[in-house]
Structure 1
Amino acid sequence: MNGTPDLPSQHDRFAGLDMLASAVLVADADGLVRYANPAAEHLLDISAKALSRQKLVALFTNGEELGALCEQAIAHKYADLRQDLTLFRPAREPLHVHSIVSAAGEAEVVVELRENVQQLKLDREERLLDQSLANKELIRNLAHEIKNPLGGIRGAAQLLELELPDVHLSSLREYTQVIIKEADRLQTLVDRLLAPHRRPHIVGDVNIHEVCERVRSLVLAEFPSGLAIRRDYDASIPEFRGDKEQLIQTVLNIVHNAAQALRSRIAAGDAEIVLRTRVARQVTLAKVRYGLALDLHIIDNGPGIAPDIRDRIFYPLVSGREGGSGLGLTLAQTFVQQHMGLIECESRPGLTDFRILIPLP
């Protein structure tokens, strides 16, 4: 048959590429996509059929750089061209990829795109750090703005109660007491918001397994049956300098949240939380490279975090539990960042994994 081969014949030619985990696109000399493997469909979120009608450079708003690499490969200027690229797409997240471009025959080019996991991780950490700094500034400003008028409201209610005539005291005192009690409740909330910024950072030698054992005993005392807290410790982890009480509070907040989420499984008797410690090597935290880091995982077999709050769980006053304050994870994140560390979370039904990374000496 004359003319350009159709998509099925192209697929037959490159069928061996279907099993590759990295995205592979084959384009002709005019830049038209002739083949895309399943990994490319997944990465670009476009079907192979739709891709086959498009020019490679048109897939990205900054596709000219990738197009120039393809032209050089077709001209046989290089055996292959390797370059880290950030490819932008309309209304989608940018792709951070390592590209490998090479000629295939006289008039075709093979483009392999591998996600740059390290860059994605750095971007995510940077977003988490920016979010945390914004949260802390918001909390401090909001708490101070609430604190002063709150004291005035409580004082005014007390004075009003003293001025009430005795005949009306029993009936009206109820209302002044509501004002005073609610003002006290808000004062407690404000104090909790400001707590990590008021308390001095008390540094000493910390054994992370002593921290985990303290938390384990506290939570099992509250949930004595139906919940197993399993240890999976790496005994070789060295002590490090840190604030032991802050770290106990951090781990306790996360483990207690997990236990609360596991209530139905506790009732069924098959709830489990795993405390796993490991050493991570060559870790980048807040753009600083560390040779060693504590890698603490707190894993539960609960229902998972609701998708609508999964990206906001470290925001203040965001809670997935009825009656929750939404401060536990915010405080945990603040304490870990005061140790130059990071908290990450992955969650799906049946498994939620909070990961705490803290630099080690």
Structure 2
Amino acid sequence: MPKTFISAFQLCVLMFLSLMGTAFLTEVSSAAPTAGHDLWVAPIWGLAGGLLCIFSWISLHNRYPGMSLVQYADRIVGPVVGKLLSLLFLFYVTYATAYMLRQFCDFINISFLMRTPPIALAFCLILLSAIIIRCGVEVLCRLAVFFLPFPFLLCALIFWPLYKDLKPILPLFENGLLPSLQGAFVLQTWYAMFSLITFYLPSVGRNQKIKGWSVTSTVMLCLMLVIVNWHVASFLRHATELYLYPVMVISRYSSFSEFFEHLESIAMMVWVVLVIIRVSYGYYCLATGMGQWFKLPDLKPVVIPMGMLLLIFSFWGMQSSLQVTINRWIVPAFYIACAIVLPLLLLLVDLFRRGIHPNKKATEPSLSKDEAEGAAL
């Protein structure tokens, strides 16, 4: 079938929008217990992990153009170890997507639709995402570009009415650098999601400036996290870590000129759109990766089965957000191992075996007529 090509700008917007959707919900409550007053500084330290993740995956893509991790892992470390590493990475994608899906469904169930079973909400999200995935990666990226103003609109709706009540967050580094560094470690669960770029890079046109746009996406995420964390910490102070969804708490206090109130309803609508894009972002990677793992010519036959896997895994393998779910150190460590350590190890092994400047003709697949036209875009 003809291969669809996307631009580096579209991929940048997709990554940024996917991660901001969940960052508004749970990022603050995840980092607040460790970072404390320095909550807004943690994303700046965490940016280093995001950039390292981006550069490692793009370096592997440059050495194996037109391929994803599932395809070139076999060539780097052999078919047996390569298949196992690919399966581990696909489990990581499944876990990250299913856990985010469960979090959002619990959030909607707790805050708005108290009588609706969370699994019904998850089914609707999976169904919408499956339709998007079957339409192709270009539709997903264009959808992300269309909804790009949404996170900025959400920030304006929630934080703009509160500017008169904001105060400086002092003292800075009251307990040293350790709390903010610990918060940055926790935030790697968001920066690590840039690793899913490995399944999108083969669809980016050859002449696109993918490295520059990827760095732009990472820096934009960092800036937005700093803005959100600063506003939340300034408004809630020490009570920040007591709330599971602190941004939603703030939205209940926001109003425009005593006329527009209950802005949390508008915020919820924006969140739904962003989370659909986030689910589709991981869903596409899972379907594509499993199709490549089984060497299928098309990903459409695995779209529905992978959607059912995400739906079952999100409730069978996850606890409710109201319960003490996961250790805040174990999960970031698992994400870092799969998103940063794994590509770095593969890159080092490939550098040792093939040198710094490998012969690209031996690894770069030949272009068909449709691919050649897409590469010229």
TM-score (norm 2): 0.20
- Between structure 1 and structure 2, the one with the greater Rg is 1
The structure with the largest strand share of the pair is 1
- 1 or 2 for the larger relative contact order (CA 8 Å, sep ≥6)? 2
TM-score (norm 1): 0.21
